[in-house]
Structures are given as C-alpha cells and as structure tokens.
Chains A and B, each alone.
Chain A
Amino acid sequence: MIETHALGKIFKDKKRGPIRAVDGVTFRCQPGEIYGLLGANGAGKTTTLRMLATILRPTSGTAKVAGFDLLEQPQQVRGHVGFLSTATALYGRLTAQEMVEYFGRLHGMANDVLAKRIDELFGALDMQDFRKRRCDKLSTGMKQKVSIARTLVHDPPVMIFDEPTLGLDVMMARTIVDFIRQCRERGKTVIFSTHVMSEAEKLCDRIGIIHAGVLLAEGTLGQLRERYRQPDLEEIFVHVAEGGK
C-alpha cells in the first residue's frame, strides 16, 4: 500500500529561487489497485514518484510505502518497490541476464532463488532468445522487457511507473499496459503517471489530477465524470487544470 501525507518538494534554483514542485500531495493506493497520476509536463508527477521511490527526499510531509516510512526506512522502501521510468536506462555493456541478476543480487536474493526467478521471468516475458545479448545491442522493445524484468526480479509488492510508454510505438506501449494490468491482477499496489488520457481511462482504478504540484482532484473515472459533469477524462482534466470546481 502507498499512503502519502502532505508530501512536498521544493527545489532550490539559483536564478529562479525556490521552486515548489510538489505541494502537500496526499493520496492512498491499495494493493490490487492502479492509481493514475495525471498531469501535464512539469506538473510534479515525476517528482512525486521519485520521492515515493526514495530517489528524492521530500522537503515536507512523508509517505508510507509497503508499510515503511520514506524518511525513516528508505532502504526498506527501495527493497519493496519496483520503479520503472523512461529515465531508468540499462547498463549497455551487461547482458540482459547480467542486468537482471545484478539487481536481484542487490536486493539480497540468494543465487539459487535468483536463478529460478530469472528463468521464470525470462520465460514469461519471452526473453530467452536474447538473455545472453548485451543490452546496447537490443531493440527498444527488448530493452523495455529487460527493464520490466529488472523491476520485477525481487517480486516487489509496490510498482511505480513513471510515464512508462513515453516514446514507445503502439505495440510496445500495449505490452507495457498489459504488464501493468498483470501487476494489478497479482495484487500489487500500482501507481502510474501519464499525460496520455486514453491510457489513464483504460488502466486506472482511481485517478489523481495533479497541476502545478498540487493534487486538484481525485476519484474513480465515474466519480470524476459525475463531479465535473464532463464527458471524458480529457475534458475533466482541462476543466480541473483551468481551475473549474
């Protein structure tokens, strides 16, 4: 489960002064649920998710991820989270198998358990043909599969996806979307950020609309439609972002 409490982040900029990237964001995501964080570029989605993955430290507020406190137990949080974004690249000089093994070992997995898990993942993701191939020689689709295997190797209860389909072709984006659904089916807590409305509509159980670092609206798609009396998510998003009540 993910529970945030007034999560905030201020970046210091020499030219522009302090920038409030995330401001008092509070939400909750249950196991077996996909929570979509919807926002335009620069809305604060990535910063929020980076804080949940303990890559960034909140300036104010805190959160509990899989029962661990972000500020007090960051190492345990990382041990229970799988984080995937377009910025999480692969080590090009390692093979697909070495890449996944490396992260499995860093998560403290024993060799025999790790070997079994890798066989299982590489089979499920249809990666056997390129398991010994270096990551820099793989196609974009293959790389994305290796990244998925990397995030799943330690079987984390919480999955965080930061715009995972950004820049991917339709087929590859579909694979990722299917994979996110599977995570929900397996009872994982899934948080997913996007600015693609159709993806959010298809995938998310609940949606949070974030704008200028503030979580402006939250609910199921049905609840949001009813509350804002708009036909689709895009209209709801524009309405909320423009300050509509």
Chain B
Amino acid sequence: MSWRSIGIVYRKELIDSLRDRRTVISMIVIPVLAMPLLTVGIGYLSVSLIARARREVSRIMVLGGADSPGVVDALRGTEKIELAPESPDFATQLENKQIRAAVEIPPGFEAALKGSDSPTVTIFYYEDETRSDIAVERLNAFFNHLKGATVQQRLVAHDLPPGLAQPFEILSKNAVSPEKLFGNRFGAIIPYFIILLCMTGAMYPAMDLTAGEKERGTMETILCSPVPRTGLVIGKFLMVLTASLATAALALVSMAFSVVVVLQSKGVLDGPEGLRMAVHATSVFGVFAMILPIAMLMSLVMLTISLFAKSFREAQSYLSPMTIVVIFPAIFSMLPGVELNAKTALVPILNTSLVSKEILAGTFHWNYIVLIFASTCVYAALAMVAAVRMFNREEVLFRN
C-alpha cells in the first residue's frame, strides 16, 4: 500500500463526489443555505414577529370598575392599550383572540386605595400566547406604577418618609468574561450542531462510495486494480471525512456570517446594550481539533455499515437510526448536572460535546482534552480495522 495510490483513490472519489448533485446538495448547498435559513432565518423571523406584536395596541376588557372611574380612565389613556366594552363572554373573546386580556377591578377599588385595604386585581389572559403576554406585561406595568404611587400617597398621608417602604435597592451585574458568557449560552448547542453536521455531511458519501458502488457495478471494477483493499478503504474514508468536515465548517462559517450580518443590521452588536459575548479563535480551533477524531470515527462507522448494505436504499435504512445514536449523547451533554469527568471522558460524542463546551468558554482541561482526543483516536483506529476487515469479506462485497 502506498500513499500515492491512496491519493489517487481520494482524488478520484473527490472529483466523482463533487460531480454528484446529491453530494453537492448535502455537502455544500444545505450547510451554506439551508442551515442559516433554518437557524438564523427562523430566529430573525420570530424576533421580527415579536417586535411587530409589540408595536400593536393591546385590546383589553375591564370587568367592573364602575366605581373606580379614575383608574379606568388612566388605563384608557395608557399608551398601546385600548379598552373593549365589558361583556360576560370575556373568556370566549380571549380564546377567539378578540381581546388580549381582561382585568377585573373589584368593587370599591379606588376608595380602598385611599384607605389601608389591599384589594386584589385579577388579570385574565391566554397563557403562552405572545400578544396576550404583551398585554399582561402592559397591565402589570400600569398596576405596578399605580401600586407605587399609592404607597407613596399613604406614606405622605401618615407623615412618613418616602424611602420607608424601600429600605434598599438590588443591582445585579454580570462579573464573568464575555468568553464565559458565550460558552455558557452557546457552548452546549454549538458542539451538538457541529457533531450533527459532521454526521449528515458524511452520511451520503459513505453510502455512495460503498453501497452505491456495489449497486452500480463499479465495486468489482475497482477490486481488479492493484491497489490493496486497505488503500481503497483509506482513500474512500478520506473522502467521507472531507465531506463531513467541509459540511460542518461551511455551515458554521455560513451561520456565523449570517448571525453577524443580522445582528449588525439590527444594531445589536453596537452600543452599551450590545451583545456582550466573545469567542477566541483558539477556542474555535480547539473545538475543531476535538471534532476531528469524532468525525473520523463517525465517517468510518458509516462507511463500514454502508459497505454491508447491498444497495443505496438498504444503506439508508441502516444509517437512519444512527442519527438517534449520535443525537442522544449530544443532547445528554446539554442536561444540567452532566459534567466532564473520568467516566464521561471515555464516552464517544458525549465527551466531545462536554469538552467543546468548556473550550468555548475558554477553559482548557488539558488532562481531559488529552484523554478524550486519545480515546476517540483509539475508537477511530478500531473502526478503521473493522472497515478494512469488512472490505476484505467476500460475502459482504458480493452480497448481491
């Protein structure tokens, strides 16, 4: 086996794959166009829709309040609030979204405010409905303001200082670095995305280069060449790995570019209220270095499984459940309390997800990094042995 012949096989597989529309779609079109559309696009759309909902006036029904005209008038005069005529079917109107909230003002409310009673104002709303939530927010703001003003009036009436009811203020300030902030917010989801993309990128070429070759009858042709089967496996594996890493890299670059463009256009990145997050280039390279052995492992496993299949369709049915096998440990890493330790460092995919999360937050646990890198390389080497063995099994190569 020579590296020259492996290079020849790899080059041919690359040319062949890049001419295949389905590979180009899975390796280039989906990561470059579909991923940003799915992630950033949907995020942008939801932000836009919420902003539009916030610009709208909330239609609110006041239940009762006949003896509290001051409060009702003040509510009517509040910005972005419109009052609907009172009706006993307010719940139906809420369900039909004719009104966004209803507020029940108890009898003698205004009079009670002047005394020392504590009457209850009830707000009825449509739970988890965006426009109803906004209406509740506005009603809360109105009544909180009224509550504050009433407290002040009561203190003045009793000749007490205005600060009496507010003994101290609470100020919360973030004290961690922007890198930590980024790692905490996105550290779990980004490795999950990368691992998933590596898998989707590798899946199609893995099937095409093995089961596809069997189906098209080119497997016997290539087996006639003097290249040893190990060389063929390595050449094909390198192509699948290229597709896997290219898909992940293209998707990440494309998503990062889209996020920056969208946030820049919204002015989110500027000003004091700007997005206080950062990620170091070292962390990005660190994550990619950790992804490399797991991408190798996934490429080899998929190549081996696909090789067993007689046809492309059969390979698809074998590889589809693999998505769950890959997603499960990646999701598990996002659960609270799941931390990097000597045991989790040996579980493939889970270990990469956990360590990548730490790396993105700027923390480099070198002992775990070495352990995870080495153990995943060992798993990948075992997968390579399995792939070569599979490629040497006549009953597998000539199953059809």
Contact = CB atoms under 8 A, between A and B. Distances in A.
Interface stretch (A83-91, A183-191, A233-241): A83-91
A93 B228 contact: no
Contacts of A93: 15-16, 19-20
A106 B218 contact: no
B223 interface: yes
Contacts of B16: 91, 93-94
Interface residues of A, number: 30
Nearest to B397: A55
A53 interface: yes
B227 A88 contact: no
A55 B229 CA distance: 10
Interface in B371-400: 394-395, 398
B8 interface: yes
Nearest to A77: B226
A78 B224 contact: yes
Contacts of B217: 87-89
Given A56-B394, A88-B221, A108 B226 contact: yes
A11 B226 contact: no
A92 interface: yes
Contacts of A28: none
Contact of B225 (A56, A76, A107): A107
A227 interface: no
A141 interface: no
A168 to B, nearest CB: 15
Interface string A67-88: 0000000011011010101011
A98 B5 CA distance: 16
A81 B218 contact: no
B216 interface: yes
Contact of A55 (B5, B20, B223, B226): B223
B292 to A, nearest CB: 28
A79 B226 contact: yes
A15 interface: no
A102 interface: yes
Interface of B: 4-5, 8-9, 12, 15-16, 19-20, 216-218, 220-221, 223-228, 394-395, 398
A93 B21 CA distance: 10
22 contacts: A12-B395, A53-B224, A55-B223, A56-B398, A76-B226, A78-B226, A79-B226, A81-B224, A83-B224, A87-B217, A87-B220, A88-B221, A88-B224, A89-B217, A89-B220, A93-B15, A93-B16, A94-B12, A94-B15, A106-B225, A106-B226, A107-B226
Nearest to A93: B19
A89 B400 CA distance: 15
Given A78-B225, A93-B16, A55 B220 contact: yes
Contacts of A90: 218, 221
B220 A106 contact: no
Contacts of B20: 93
Interface of A: 11-12, 53, 55-57, 75-76, 78-79, 81, 83, 85, 87-94, 98, 102-103, 105-108, 134, 150
A94 B12 CA distance: 9
Contacts of B221: 88-91, 150
A102 B223 contact: no
Nearest to B9: A106
Given A89-B221, A90-B218, A106-B5, 11 more contacts: A56-B394, A88-B218, A88-B224, A91-B218, A92-B216, A93-B20, A94-B16, A106-B225, A107-B225, A107-B226, A108-B4
A11 B12 CA distance: 33
A78 B227 CA distance: 9
A105 B227 CA distance: 10
B394 A57 contact: yes
A81 B226 CA distance: 9
A106 B227 contact: yes
A200 to B, nearest CB: 23
Contact of A103 (B15, B19, B225, B398): B225
Nearest to B7: A105
Of listed B216, B221, B227, residue having the most chain A CB within 10 A? B221
A53 B48 CA distance: 66
Contacts of B4: 108
Contacts of A91: 12, 16, 218, 221
Of listed B15, B218, B224, residue having the most chain A CB within 10 A? B224
Contacts of B227: 106
Nearest to A11: B395
A83 B223 CA distance: 10
B160 to A, nearest CB: 87
Of listed A56, A75, A79, A106, residue having the most chain B CB within 10 A? A106
A205 to B, nearest CB: 24
A215 B126 CA distance: 86
Nearest to A92: B216
B178 to A, nearest CB: 47
Contacts of A83: 224
A92 to B, nearest CB: 7
A92 B394 CA distance: 24
